[in-house]
Amino acid sequence: MKDQYRNNAKGRKRAKWLVLGIAGLLGALAGVAMFHDEIGARIGVINPFSGGEDPIPVLILEKAPFQLQVQAGGEVVGLNSVPVVTPGTGAGALKLAWMIGEGSMVSEGSPVVRFDSADQLLNLESQSNALSQNLLQTSIDSGNQQFEEKDLGLENAAAEIDYSYAMSVLPDDETIFSQWEIINARLDAEFAKAKIENLAARLDVQKRMNLSQQQVLAIARNQVQTEVDIIRRTLSALEVKAPASGLVVYRRDRRRDPAIGDSCQAGQVLIDLVDLNALQARIYVLERDAGGLATGKGVILKLDGLPGKELHGEVRTVSALAATVERNSPLKYFICDVTIRDAGLYLRSIRPGMTLQARVVLETYDSCFVVPASALDVKDAKTYVYVKQGDDFVKREVQVGLGTHGQATILGGVDEKEQVALKNPFETRQLKLPDFTRSTAIVEQGRGVGPAGGGRGR
């Protein structure tokens, strides 16, 4: 009896809920019928499969500075320096007296090193005294020789007078003069002739002796003069001038700086003059990033051996063609030589082969519009954007600059605060419901089921 009562109660409860559900369903259907148009319109806007167009995204233009940079890797390829060497003077080792400070910038012809000149000045004074003595002795000997030659000349003239007189009074008449007188007169004449010949020979010998003596003095004088010239050249060489312009860097011997008082041998290098314009790096720019790459472009460098430091330079050369750098790599690079300008303070730390990271500044705009590249529409070698006017868009030609793969720069043709479409508003895509039947067929084909429902393929 109780079980039957319980079953009847459950049946009544189920019937009650069934009636309530039917009533609610009927109310919902009535509401849909009343607001059919409004609900349909709202569903058409938000339903991705309704066939409506995508909204057009826009960007409000604002001018801003923009710098286009591309990344590159590379290494330091070398330092160009001119050595300053100890001169070879023939005086042996030279003592260092003065050096220009390391890190100084010098121009060609400026003094950079001086050596001690005290010994050379003493030697110059001694040789100068010897030269003066030689000149004085030459003058004295020359005067004596002239006196001796004049004395012999006078004797020779007297002998010629005697000979002439003897010949003029020579007796030859034997009837008047005796044989003895004739013989004595002839002997006197022959003696006068012989005396003339003797004096002439003596004068010739004296002249030769005087000439030889003068030559000996001249040889000695030339030797002394040569020594004086050498000393003077040595003195002039003791001040070494810069053979080229550059930055002064000391050449260290066993990690020791050259010091005042050091003895320096001929040919010893004391200073290197580093040409900062010839300090170079070699960088590799990807072919896809090389648009606008050219000589003269600025480069910002970070050397791995100088953490936290930035160096600056400019592109000196660019390879004509892109080429692969790594073996079996499809990537191609343009190879650029970069002149580093401000490495003077870090030259001790820079070594050839040191790796670096570089940023090449392809272009700098003080003021321009930066937009996504999708906002540009290029047709017939002209570039356009679509400017929003009211509820519509107007196509407008613009002047563009360099940009990256995702960004573009607009230099003119539009105004600030204008809105441009980020895609062509007249070629918008429409969302469509995917063809699930085709997708299912493709999946089934992958499982081996034929399009007609046949068995598994073999």
pLDDT in tens, 217-228: 888 888 888 888
Looking at the predicted structure, is the pLDDT value of residue 42 above 70? no
For residue 364, the enclosing domain spans 276-427
In a domain, 197, yes or no: yes
Judgement on whether residues 288 and 139 belong to the same structural domain of the protein: no
Matching residue, tokens 């010098």: 106
Distance, in Å, from the CA atom of 202 to the CA atom of 149, rounded to the nearest integer, reads: 9
Shared domain check, 229 and 90 = no
Distance CA 252, CA 261 (A): 15
Q: Are residues 249 and 297 in the same domain?
A: no
Residue 82's nearest CA partner among 268, 273, 362 is: 273
**How far apart, in whole angstroms, are the C-alpha atoms of residue 386 and residue 291?**
26
Task: Supply the DSSP symbol for 54.
Answer: P
pLDDT tens-digit series, residues 104-126: 889 999 999 988 888 878 888 88
112 shares a domain with 124 = no
H/E element, 423: none
pLDDT of residue 162 exceeding 80, the answer is no
Q: Is residue 52 part of a domain?
A: no
Domain co-membership, 402 together with 295: yes
Q: Give the total number of structural domains in the chain.
A: 4
Residue 90 included in any domain? yes
Residues 226 and 254 in one domain: no
Q: Which residues contact 68 (CB under 8 A, 6 or more apart)?
A: 292, 361, 362, 363, 364, 402, 403, 404, 409
- The 3-state DSSP class for residue 141 equals helix
Residue 124 counted as domain residue: yes
pLDDT at 14 over 90: no
Is position 67 within any domain?
no
**% the chain with pLDDT above 90:** 21
The answer to whether 62 and 370 have CB atoms below 8 angstroms apart is: no
Tell whether 312 and 419 lie within a shared domain: yes
Does a structural domain hold residue 55? no
**pLDDT for 95 beyond 60:** yes
Q: Are residues 310 and 283 in the same domain?
A: yes
Strands (E), 146-289: 239-241, 246-250, 263-264, 269-274, 280-286
Find out whether 420 and 61 touch, Cβ atoms under 8 Å: yes
pLDDT tens-digit readout, 378-404: 988 899 999 998 888 999 999 998 887
Asked if residue 356 and residue 306 are part of one domain, the reply reads yes
Cα–Cα distance for residue pair 84/95, rounded to 1 Å: 16
Partners of residue 19 on adjacent β-strands = none
The verdict on residue 45 lying in a domain is no
291 and 421 share one domain: yes
pTM greater than 0.75: no
Whichever domain contains 87, its CATH number is: 2.40.50.100
Contact 99, 257 (CB under 8 A): no
| Residue 453, in any domain of the structure | no
Q: Are residue 365 and residue 407 in the same domain, yes or no?
A: yes
CA–CA gap between residue 303 and residue 338 (Å, rounded): 13
Q: What is the CATH number of the domain that holds 410?
A: 2.40.30.170
In Å, the largest CA–CA distance within the chain is 228
For 247, 345, 359, the CA distances from 310, given in Å and listed in that order, are 19, 12, 11
Please check whether residues 283 and 375 belong to one and the same domain.
yes
CA distances, 364 to each of 64, 360, 361, 367, 403 (Å): 11, 11, 7, 9, 11
H or E element in which residue 289 lies:
none
Instruction: Check residue 233 and give its pLDDT.
Output: 81
18-33 pLDDT per residue, tens: 666 666 666 655 554 5
Residue that wins the pLDDT comparison between 10 and 392: 392
